[in-house]
Amino acid sequence: MNGPILCDTTLRDGEQSPGVAFTAAEKISIARMLDEIGVPEIEVGTPAMGGEESEAVSGIVSLGLKARVLARNRALISDIDASLGCGVTVIAISLPVSDLQIERKLGRDRSWVLTQLCRSLKYAVRRGLSVCAGAEDASRADQEFLCEFARAAAACGAERIRFCDTVGRLDPEETFKKVSDLVSRVPLPVEIHTHNDFGLAVANALAGIRAGVQVVSTTVLGLGERAGNAALEQIVMSLKHLHGMETKVRTERLRPLCETVAQACGREIPPGQPVVGEAAFTHESGIHADGVLKDPALYEPYRPEETGGVRKIVLGKHSGRRALLHKLKELGLPLESLQVSDLLEKVRCLSLRRKRSLADWELSRLYEETFVLPDAVEPPCRGKV
Ligand SMILES: [Zn+2]
C-alpha cells in the first residue's frame, strides 16, 4: 500500500529549532540529499527573510530536483513576491485559525483571517503558484471555523490544507477525531504537521495518516521549534513496519542523512534516538545479546541494514558469557569456556567503574592482563561486582 506524501520541512521548521542555523551551502546540500533518498516534497525556507535565506531558496530551486520545492509565506503580498523572486512554484501560506492566536497574536478577528486568506491565495494562484493553506494552531481552533477556513481555501484555489498542531497539545486519539472530521468535511487533501511538546509528534502524525491525510510533514531527527516535529526517519520506518505502507524513501540512506543534518546543527545524535541512534541496534545485556546471536528478530524490530546501521554487541556491566565469547572470537582471541568467568567478572567491573560499555581495545587489554601477562600487570579490578 502506498503511504502518504512526505513533505519534509527540516530546512524551514527544522531550522527554527533553537540554536540551529544552516548556511546556504548546508541547505543546498541537505536538500540534495533529501531529494536523492526519495523525499517527494521539501519545504526549504522563508524567502521574505531575504539575504542568505532567499539565496538558499533560489539555489535549491536552481538544482532542478525531482522533489517539489516549497517556500513558506505569511498571508502577505510581499512574502509571495519574495517567493516568486526565488523562482519557487509551490508555496505554503500560513495563517492562525485559533481565536487565541487570531486575537492575541494578530489583534484581528475570524473574518479578517478569511479575507486575508482569499486575498493572498488569489494573488498567488493568479501568478501560477500552487498553494498549501497552512492552518496554524488548528488543534486549538474551533473545528467549525477550521472547516470554514478550509472551504474558503478550496474556493480561492488552494491545493491542500495543512492541519498544524502548533504547540503539540493533541494526543493520538484527539488527533484522529479532529483530522477525520476535517478530512470528511472539506473538499481538499489534508496535510498533518505535528509538534513534539509531549513526545507525541510521530504518534499524532501516524494517527492523522490513519484518519486519511494525504500528506505528512516531517523533519530529519525531529528538529523544529521547541521540542521539534515528527522525525522523518521515524515516520518512514513506522509507516513501513507498523502500517505496511511504502514511501519510496531509500531507507538505507537515512542514517547518513541524519548524520549530515546533525553535523550542520552542531549537535550529536543522542544514543537513544529511535531508528538512527547509536544504541538503536546495540545489545549489551546477557539475555538480549544471547537472543540476537540466536536470531536477531528476537530483540530487533527490523534489520539495522535497512536504515544504514549495523548491529553491535557490546560488553558491559550486564554482559553474559555468550556475548563475551562472541566478542573474543570477533577479535581473534581464543578462550576456553572454562576461563570465561574470570574475564567476565573483570569486564563487568571495569564497565561499572568507567560507566560505559568497553571498547575493543579495553577488552583486548583485559584479555592480555588475564591470560597472556597475568603477573606483569596489576589487574584493573578486584572482587566481585
Ligand atoms: Zn511547525
**Distance from the alpha carbon of residue 136 to the mean position of ligand 1, in angstroms:** 8
Residues 6+ apart with CB under 8 A from 19: 265, 266
**Distance from the alpha carbon of residue 315 to the mean position of ligand 1, in angstroms:** 41
Residue 381, domain member (yes or no): no
**Distance from the alpha carbon of residue 194 to the mean position of ligand 1, in angstroms:** 7
Give the residue numbers spanning the domain of 307. Answer: 278-372
Helix (H) or strand (E) holding 7: strand 5-8
From the CB of residue 93, how many other CB atoms can be counted at a distance below 10 Å? 26
**Distance from the alpha carbon of residue 308 to the mean position of ligand 1, in angstroms:** 28
**Distance from the alpha carbon of residue 232 to the mean position of ligand 1, in angstroms:** 14
Domains: count for the chain: 2
**Distance from the alpha carbon of residue 292 to the mean position of ligand 1, in angstroms:** 39
Residue 94 shares a structural domain with residue 61: yes
CATH of residue 312: 4.10.430.20
Residue 382, domain member (yes or no): no
pLDDT band at 385 (very low <50, low <70, confident <90, very high): very low
CA 232, 254, 63: angle at the middle one, nearest 5?
85
Regarding pTM above 0.85, the answer is: yes
**Distance from the alpha carbon of residue 369 to the mean position of ligand 1, in angstroms:** 55
pLDDT band at 339 (very low <50, low <70, confident <90, very high): confident
Residue 228 to residues 63, 175, 232, 355, Cα–Cα distance (Å): 28, 17, 12, 30
In angstroms, what is the C-alpha Rg of the chain?
A: 26
- pLDDT tens for each residue of 159-212: 999 999 999 999 999 999 999 999 999 999 999 999 999 999 999 999 999 999
**Distance from the alpha carbon of residue 5 to the mean position of ligand 1, in angstroms:** 17
CA–CA dist 203, 179 (Å, integer): 14
CATH of residue 158: 3.20.20.70
318 by DSSP, 3-state: which? coil
Bridge partners for 365 per DSSP: none
**Whether residue 99 has pLDDT greater than 70:** yes
Mean pLDDT of 50-57: 95
Last residue of a domain, one of 241, 265, 289: 265
**C-alpha cell of residue 145:** 471555523
**C-alpha cell of residue 61:** 530551486
**Distance from the alpha carbon of residue 28 to the mean position of ligand 1, in angstroms:** 21
**Distance from the alpha carbon of residue 337 to the mean position of ligand 1, in angstroms:** 56
CA–CA dist 313, 113 (Å, integer): 57
